[in-house]
Structure 1
Amino acid sequence: MNRHLYTLLLHLALPLIALRLALRARKAPAYARRIRERFSFGMPPLQTGGIWVHAVSVGESIAAAPMIRALQARHPELPITVTCMTPTGSERIQALFGNSVQHCYLPYDLPWAAALFLNRVKPRLAVVMETELWPNHIHQCAKRGIPVALANARLSERSARGYARFGKLTAPMLAKLSLIAVQTQAEAQRFLALGARPECVDVTGSIKYDLKIDAELPQRAAELRRQWQTEQRPVWIAASTHAGEDEIILAAHRQLLKTRTDALLILVPRHPERFEAVHELCLNQGLTTRRRSTGQDVQAGDQVLLGDTMGELLFLYALADIAFVGGSLVANGGHNLLEPAALGKPVLSGPHLFNFLEIATQLREAGALSEVENAEQLAGRLATLLDTPTEMARMSQAGLAVLKANQGALQRLLTGLQRLL
């Protein structure tokens, strides 16, 4: 398939895209808003001549944050425009950066929509996070002489096989990229095999290791636990959970409550459209549940705190003694294991970590990550850790050591971007 056929098929698929948006809007009404932006119409006023960063959703926005802040510090004269594709990503971008960046949705990968967007923004540099490769956007950048960098790039074997099936589309697109800053050597080889130019592929490592924790965050968490009188209670968090996981998490928590009657679970669903359903699930299982969004203090009888707010995940991690990272008990591929590790928390997960294989391997080999497969194993591991403070401390130090050993990717990436600027 070449780019022209791809474009034709994308136009033919527009009714299906509209239907998908409508179906998503039934669960998450935010999908019904700002639709015109998805076609380059009705965009907010935007300054031109700066840097455009695309982070498809929440995870990529968080990963991009240190890079964006560094670019702001180095180039205060350049406006930075950050785009995404999801309402949750949009909320996170606004929470992270406020008015310090320009923000809108990235239009769909239609040549005319991409052209309108670029004519409106006129960036000097485009930076795409991880693996969001859009042939028409990249082609339109190339036509205008705008260098495109793929930052923190990752490409699994499975994804590489998928791209290889469409070589006539993939190879010309990759050849137009000015920088592919990959996380590992194996991923560099996959990009080269698909048609990337060797001089443009650079192994920089993962910028996720360069996560900086605000020193006030643990202090604020400790103060809130004092206010809640939960300093002596065992508190664990299950974060970024998906459908099918919450039942397992709650079963593990009920099991833990048999021996640790004062245990508190902070349960944070990944998607805000699931907050109501997960709240109902907690109540139906007979667990006394308080919603974080109410702003009320946790009481002695509370067994679950539902993290139904946006932009607070790091703070909620800081409140806990042990962290379970979701998207891993179901075949979703996991989420960022480094955030709780950077806060010095022992990290638990399920076995499905294919989105974070390199990070998971490093943490596992260092003894900073424990993987469980079901509610019984999760409850058992929680109980063991709570009974063994020395093991919790060892896992905590191991996680911090992994982060320290792998930092520096951000500086290497920024050096590459500076060359393009």
Structure 2
Amino acid sequence: MRETINVSDKIVWMHCSSLGEFEQGRPLLEKIKSHFPSYKILLTFFSPSGYEVRKDYAGADYIFYLPSDSKKNAAQFYDIVKPQLIVFVKYEFWYYYLSGAKRRNIPLLLISAIFRKSQPFFLNYGSFHRSMLTCFTHLFVQNNQSIGLLNTIGYTENVTLSGDTRFDRVIEIAESFQPIASVENFCQGSNVIVAGSTWSEDDRELAHYVNSKSALKFIIAPHDISKERLQECLKLYKNSTLFSALNSTLPPTKINTIIIDNIGMLSRLYKYATIAYVGGGFGADGVHNVLEAAVYGKPVIYGPEYSKFNEAIELVESGGGISIKNGLELETTLDTLLKNNEKYAEKAQSALQYVYSKKGSTEKILQFIYENRLLTN
């Protein structure tokens, strides 16, 4: 990755708020790089949780934090970068950067967008926010509800129902799966529960079941891997060890739980699950990425807070996801799935079919870029 922008480069700029949005934008970014090799990729982040994890990502030529949104910063940014195409992911709205793109006639796309009735765009006082929408050349949205809302404020021509590019990303990960030898050795011959992106609330609901089921294997991947959180998990889960200590701990027969103490492995860990649990659903911010588990054809369980996430709602509706209200419900659900082969197979197949039915968002956006000659080789 280069430190300084080369003024002779033809640049495509993608902006992501954080790591989740990066994973959403990544399939399109990589398609652009392979289909239009003469262009350089500039990737910017707002959040450290995105930048710190992906600052060495090989798919981009430049990776930076986006300078704060001001008239001066935006003008300087465009004077230096001179992007040929701009892609914002999901719900990033930076007024001076957006209006600057419009003034300079730079094509600007919003991808995997999702709109809700409560957002300022659709309220009486939302004229400022509505003005930002006018800066986009085209809006690619996830669902029909978003289309309907945009129609009410006059957006009928430059809106496409394309779905969510995250489906393409999780399918790509699953189809290029790379085994984890130490995890395979740990899991052999057992039913395995993988609990990903857990918070303290999730672990407290899970702990009794984990500690009482010595015949099962558990893989716990906390959302936060700070020393304090890892120690909390080791204390909650009585027969556990850290992933990093797997090769130097007690014989595997004496432990039934691995605590994952690294970032970046979770999307592969779900492959080893008999049943997946996705954390976050007991907190105000809601459940984390359920697609990473569903793509492997695993029943996916999560807490009650998931109404902000279209894919989590649809996964429940499809039969592949199960929302539980408390630890007791969680234990009952796990036992039922493990004992009832027919019900298990039905849930697993529903999860797999749901994800694959949503494939193709990236290709729709790429086709738009081609047809409108937003980039040319």
- TM-score under structure 2 length normalisation: 0.89
Taking the aligned partners of 1:405 and 1:46, their CA distance within structure 2 comes to 40
What residue in structure 2 maps to residue 203 of structure 1?
161
Please name the residue that 1:281 is paired with.
232
Alignment partner of 1:264 is 2:210: no
- 2:143–2:161 contact (8 Å) kept in structure 1: yes
Offset from partner CA, 1:66-110 (integer Å, 9 cap, x none): 111111111111111111122221244346x32643211111111
2:15 corresponds, among 51, 54, 58, to: 54
Q: Structure 1 unaligned segments of length 5 or more: list them.
A: 1-42
The partner residue of 2:132 within 151, 154, 173 is 173
Whether the 8 Å contact between 1:279 and 1:289 is mirrored in structure 2 is no
Work out whether 1:409 is the aligned partner of 2:361.
yes
Q: Pairwise mapping of residues 13-412 of structure 1 onto structure 2 (< 5 A)? A: 44-47=3-6, 48-94=9-55, 97-98=57-58, 100-158=60-118, 160-161=119-120, 164=123, 166-194=125-153, 197-210=155-168, 211-217=171-177, 220-221=179-180, 223-228=181-186, 230-250=187-207, 254-258=208-212, 260-272=213-225, 275-285=226-236, 287-294=238-245, 296=247, 299-357=252-310, 359-412=311-364
In structure 1, C-alpha distance between the alignment counterparts of 2:296 and 2:223, rounded to whole Å: 19
1:13 aligns to what? none
Instruction: Give a deviation string over 1:40-78, Cα, whole Å, max 9, x none.
Output: xxx921244211111111111111121111111111111
Distance in 1 of aligned mates of 2:114 and 2:165: 12
Q: Distance in 2 between matches of 1:414 and 1:389?
A: 41
Q: How far is 1:225 from its partner? A: 4.1
Q: CA deviation at 1:194?
A: 4.5
What amino acid maps onto 1:333 in structure 2? G
* Cα distance, 1:286–1:392 mapped onto 2, change above 3 Å: closer
Query: For residues 283 and 205 of structure 1, do their structure 2 counterparts lie closer, same or farther at Cα, with a shift above 3 Å needed?
Result: closer
Using the TM superposition, give the Cα deviation of residue 371 of structure 1 relative to its aligned residue in structure 2, in angstroms. Answer: 0.9
Distance 1:376 1:297, change over 3 A: farther
Q: Distance in 2 between matches of 1:324 and 1:103?
A: 33
Q: Residues 176 and 98 (structure 1 numbering): CA distance in 2 closer, same or farther, change over 3 Å?
A: same
Displacement of 1:162 in angstroms is 6.9
Q: How far apart in 2 are the matches of 1:360 and 1:282? A: 26
CA contact (8 A) 1:170 1:194 kept: no
- TM-superposition CA deviations, 1:334-375 (whole Å, max 9, x none): 222211111121111112112323x23332232111111111
Relative to total residues, which structure has the larger helix share, 1 or 2? 1
Distance (Å, rounded) in 2 between the aligned partners of 1:178 and 1:110: 21
CA distance in 1, matches of 2:102, 2:356: 37
Identity value in percent: 26
Do the aligned partners of residues 282 and 241 (structure 1) sit closer, same or farther apart at CA in structure 2, a change above 3 Å counting? closer
Amino acid at match of 1:177: F
8 Å contact from structure 1 (residues 346, 399) kept in 2: yes
Q: Distance in 2 between matches of 1:135 and 1:319?
A: 44
SS of equivalent to 2:39? coil
Partner amino acid, structure 2, of 1:205: G
**CA 335–264 in structure 1, closer or farther in 2 if over 3 Å, else same:** same
Distance 1:156 1:361 in 2: 14
Distance in 2, matches of 1:400 and 1:297, equals: 36
Distance 2:341 2:149 in 1: 43
Residues 295 and 145 of structure 1: is their aligned pair in 2 closer, same or farther, counting only changes over 3 Å?
farther
How many angstroms does 1:279 deviate by? Answer: 1.7
Which 5+ residue runs of structure 2 have no aligned equivalent?
none
Displacement of 1:413 in angstroms is: 1.5
Q: State the one-letter code of the partner of 1:281.
A: E
Report the Cα offset of residue 173 of structure 1: 1.1
TM-aligned CA distance change 1:244 to 1:145, over 3 Å = same
Asked if the contact 2:15/2:43 (under 8 Å) is kept, the reply is: yes
- What amino acid sits opposite 1:234 in the alignment? N
Structure 1 residues 188 and 92: CA distance shift in structure 2, 3 A: farther
